[in-house]
Structure 1
Amino acid sequence: MSSIKYLLNEQLSLIAQSLTSPQRLEILEYLSQTERSVDELSQLSNLNIANTSRHLQILKQAALVVVRRAGNKRFYKLAGNDVTNLISSLRNTAKIHLAEVEYLMQSYLNKKDELEAIDAQELLERTKHNEVTILDIRPKEEFNTGHLPNAINIPPDEINERIKNLKKDKEIVAYCRGPYCLFAYDAIEALRGQGFRAKRLENGFPEWKAAGYPIQQSHNLKQGGL
């Protein structure tokens, strides 16, 4: 029995070891938005192709990502929503137990957003009554793959130009890649500077999707302006 337990723990350690690199955690964050090629991941993570492939192979060996081939290209995606939940649990545990994480949160992120964030359940309730405008502050290709229902996509580099087209009769809730994604923080700062009532979603799109909340894809929506 002890040998079986050891073998089981050995398999669990494969996953733990695969998460010991900040670069691999960053790659998993990008993959939690949408499937991506090795080239895309290399550019996003500022790693060369060889290093990116090496990190992806480690994640694949730990069964955290899966790969498909299309011609000469390889495309990776998360093995399941449970991987998103695993990263969320890791993040929450670090926030509770590591003083440095708490310090970084308090000294930077909390300063950028002093108001309490809205959680997913509250946002669902408020959308039923048409009380909020939802902004997706991610690049267009990520938005097209999946987003919160009826969200408006304003990529990070367009926020200052396009907020003038938004109406001020509703509070705005902005979200991006996850709770530490600075796109939403910067968007809230810009919106409040223009007199909007704005909050951020407590987590991002991957956590929303992993929790089983409804999502839409862009081809299911009518095209149009703000």
Structure 2
Amino acid sequence: MSDHVSDDGFPELRIYTELGRVGKALASPVRLRLLDILEEGERTVEDLAATAGFGLKNTSSQLQILRAAQLVANRRDGVRIHYRIASSQVSALLGTFARFAADNVSAVRAEIDAYFVDHRDLIPVTATDLATMLDDDSVLIVDVRDREEFERGHIPGAISVPQDQIRELLDAQPADARIIAYCQGPYCLASPNAARTLVEADRDATVVEGGLTAWIRSGGALSTS
């Protein structure tokens, strides 16, 4: 069925057409994934393709669609092109979109529940709650992403412990510390897996709901030191 509509008696058609272009730009799992990654910060096309696991040509073409919808912006540095989220309003839109879908669309909720089925007993900390804990010496915030990603930007006060090194915390940190782990985005399993390892070793551990993406969407600042 065609979605073409005559503008006879419908003077607002052009407005709705342009709104529809933005909706179409978001109507792709590949593009949504790229946007989630770009919320961490600016990346080259090559870096973004490698991180997302998509081909370079596909990543580049999807970015062009997002740029046409003004969801991302770019800059050229020599032969390389760097992309970033166009504005904080884009982050707010993505956060609202994801929350609406998770809270109101049963198919989305079912997929999320199935994806995190092995971690249902973890009670996550929201980004808002985490902001009140940054100065709490009894709380240890752990970034389980790769060190390169950590150095690109992380939650203030967090320490870098990649997921495959998480057992090092068992000897390096006080046994009564509350450990809150996070990884890249809302559907990243690295931090739940890390928290599971710590819980099984009788440590008080949980995760940041939505990961670093949720922190950024809440307005949280990033540190590079």
Q: For this structure pair, what is the TM-score category when the shorter chain's length is used for normalisation?
A: 0.7 to 0.9
Aligned partners of 2:86, 2:170: CA distance in 1, in Å? 36
CA distance in 1, matches of 2:55, 2:156: 36
Q: Structure 1 residue 142: deviation in Å?
A: 2.3
Cα deviations across residues 82-125 of structure 1 (Å, max 9, x unaligned)? 22222222222221232222222323314314132112332233
2:107 is aligned to: 100
Of all paired residues, the percent bearing the same amino acid is: 32
User: Could you say which residue in structure 2 is the equivalent of 1:111?
Assistant: 118
The Cα of 1:2 is off from its aligned counterpart by 5.2
AA aligned to 2:130 is L
TM-superposed CA distance for 1:162, in Å, is: 5.0
Secondary structure of 1:143's match?
A: helix
Tell me how far 1:184 sits from its aligned partner.
1.0
Partner Cα distance (2:122, 2:163) in 1 = 21
Distance in structure 2 (CA, Å) of the matches to 1:170 and 1:81? 34
TM-score w.r.t. length of structure 2: 0.87
1:58 is the counterpart of 2:58: no
Residue in structure 2 matched with residue 167 of structure 1 by the alignment? 174
CA distance in 1, matches of 2:213, 2:115: 23
Structure 1 residue ranges (4+ consecutive) displaced by more than 6 angstroms after TM superposition: none
Structure 1 position 161, deviation (Å): 4.5
1:206 partnered with 2:223 = no
Aligned residues: 217
The aligned counterpart of 2:127 is 120
Amino acid corresponding to residue 23 of structure 1 in structure 2: V
* Residues 1:6 and 2:13 are matched in the alignment: yes
Are the aligned partners of 1:36 and 1:75 in contact in 2 as well (CA < 8 Å)?
A: yes
Equivalent AA in structure 2 for residue 67 of structure 1: N
CA distance in 2, matches of 1:170, 1:122: 17
Q: Name which of structure 1's ranges 71-80 and 137-146 shifts more when overlaid on structure 2.
A: 137-146
2:5 maps to what in 1? none
Q: Find the residue that maps to 1:198 and give its secondary structure.
A: strand
Once the two structures are superposed, residues 56-104 of structure 1 have per-residue CA deviations (whole angstroms, 9 ceiling, x without a partner) of 1001001111111111111111112222222222222221232222222
Which of the numbers 151, 164, 174 marks the counterpart of 2:158?
151
Q: 2:197 aligns with which of 181, 187, 190?
A: 190
> Whole-Å Cα distance in 2 between the matches of residues 107 and 177 of structure 1?
19
Please point out which of 84, 91, 110 is paired with 1:84: 91
What are the ranges of 5 or more consecutive residues in structure 1 without an aligned counterpart? 219-226
Does 2:144 align with 1:137?
yes
Uncovered stretches (5+) of structure 2, i.e. residues with no partner = 1-8
Q: How many angstroms does 1:163 deviate by?
A: 4.5
Compared with structure 1, are the counterparts of its residues 123 and 46 closer, same or farther at alpha carbon in structure 2 (3 Å cutoff)?
closer
Q: Could you tell me which residue of structure 2 aligns to residue 222 of structure 1?
A: none
